[in-house]
Amino acid sequence: MTKPSSPSLPMEYSDEVAAARARGAPIVALESTIITHGMPYPGNLNMARSVEAIIREQGAVPATIAVIHGVLHIGLDDAKLEALSKTEGAMKLSRADLAFAIAERRTGATTVAATMIAAARAGISVFATGGIGGVHRGAEQSFDISADLDELARTGVIVVCAGAKAILDIPKTLEVLETRGVPVVTYDSETFPAFWSRDSGIKSPLMLNSPAAIANFQKMRDLLGIDGGMLVANPVPEESEIPREEMEIYITRALDNAASDEIVGKAVTPYLLDNLFHMTDGRSLETNIALVENNARLAAEIAVALTAK
C-alpha cells in the first residue's frame, strides 16, 4: 500500500525576493490588509508602490505578503500588487485563518499577525506597517484584543509601525505588550506615537535614535536567547500629522457609528478606518500613506543594519 504523499506548503517567492534571498540581501516584509481593508483604491495601490520604491532606495528588497488563490506569496510583482489592490472580498487573515485560506485555495490579505508568521517562515526579520492592532476601547466588555499582540510575543520579527490608533485603548495595549515581554521602542521620541498624531501623551517604555542601535538591541536579544518580536514605534513626520484633539472628535463619532451599526469582530477595524477616511475628507488617508512610507524607510535601514557585520 502506498502512503498518501504529504502535502507541501504552497508558497511562492517573487523573482526579486528569491534573488535577494540567494545573495543574502536585506529584505523588508509588508502586510496586505492595509491594501485590501485599510485604504480605498487607487490610494492603496499608490501607497503599496511608493512604499516598495522607498525600500529599494534604501538598498533593501520589499516583500509584500498575501495569499492568492491558495498560494502564500512572499513578494508580489507589480501585476499581482495591482490585482490585489482591486480585489473585492479578499479575506482578512490572521493566525487563526491563514492556513484555512491556503487549504481552501482562497485569496486573502495578511494582517500584522499573519504577515509576521509568513515573514518568519521566509527568514525575513523586519516588517513595516502603518498601525498594529491592539486592545480596543471597551475591551473589558467586548474582549476585542487583536491577535497582533500575541503574535508579537511569540514570533521573532521586528515590526515598525507609527504607534497605535487612538481607536484603540493605547494604555491597555502597552500593558499587554509589557506583560507579554514585547519590547516597545520609540524611534527618536520620548512618547509613544498615536498613528495620525506624533504624540499619544503616553511615555514610551524604551527609546532609541538610530537604526544601528535598534539592530544592536535585537542582536543582544538573540544572544540572550530571547525569542518573540519587537515593536518599533516611529512617529509620523510633523508636516503630515493630524493633531490628537482633532482626531479624537472623529474617533468618538466613528466608535458611536460602529456601536449603532453593531459592528463586531474582524469587521471593527476596517469599519472604523473607512468612517474616519470619509469624516476627514481623505486627509486621514494622506497621513496614513505618509506614515507608512516613513516606516518603510526606517524598516529598510534596520534591515540593512542587521545584515552589516
Q: Note the residues at the interface with ligand PSU (CB under 6 A).
A: 31, 33-34, 38, 111-112, 130-131, 133, 146-148, 165, 195, 266, 269
| Strand 71-74 to 126-128 pairing | unpaired
In the complex with Mn ion, which residue's Cβ is closer, 97 or 144? 144
Minimum distance from residue 150 beta carbon to ligand PSU (Å): 10
Query: Which one from 16, 52, 151, 165 is the annotated catalytic residue?
Result: 165
Residues linked to residue 91 through DSSP beta bridges, in sequence order:
108
97 in a labelled binding site: no
28 in a labelled binding site: no
Minimum distance from residue 146 beta carbon to Mn ion (Å): 5
Strand ranges inside the chain, DSSP E: 11-13, 27-30, 61-68, 71-74, 91-93, 108-110, 126-128, 158-161, 184-187, 191-194, 197-203, 206-208, 230-233
Minimum distance from residue 159 beta carbon to ligand PSU (Å): 10
144 belongs to the binding site for Mn ion (CB under 5 A): yes
- CB-count burial class (<10 Å; 0-12, 13-18, 19+) for 244: middle
Binding-site partner at residue 137 among ligand PSU, Mn ion, none, CB < 5 to 8 Å by type: none
Query: Which one from 16, 31, 151, 293 is the annotated catalytic residue?
Result: 31
Q: Is 219 a catalytic residue?
A: no
d(CA 286, CA 277): 9
CA 134 to chain centre: 12
Which range of residues in 49-57, 141-149, 153-161, 208-216 is near Mn ion by CB under 5 A? 141-149
Q: Is 293 a catalytic residue?
A: no
268 in a labelled binding site: no
Q: Provide the CB-side half-sphere exposure for 155 (13 A, CA).
A: 25
d(CA 47, CA 295): 12
Catalytic residues: 31, 165
The contact set with Mn ion (CB under 5 A) reads: 144
Residues of each annotated binding site for substrate: 92, 112, 146-148
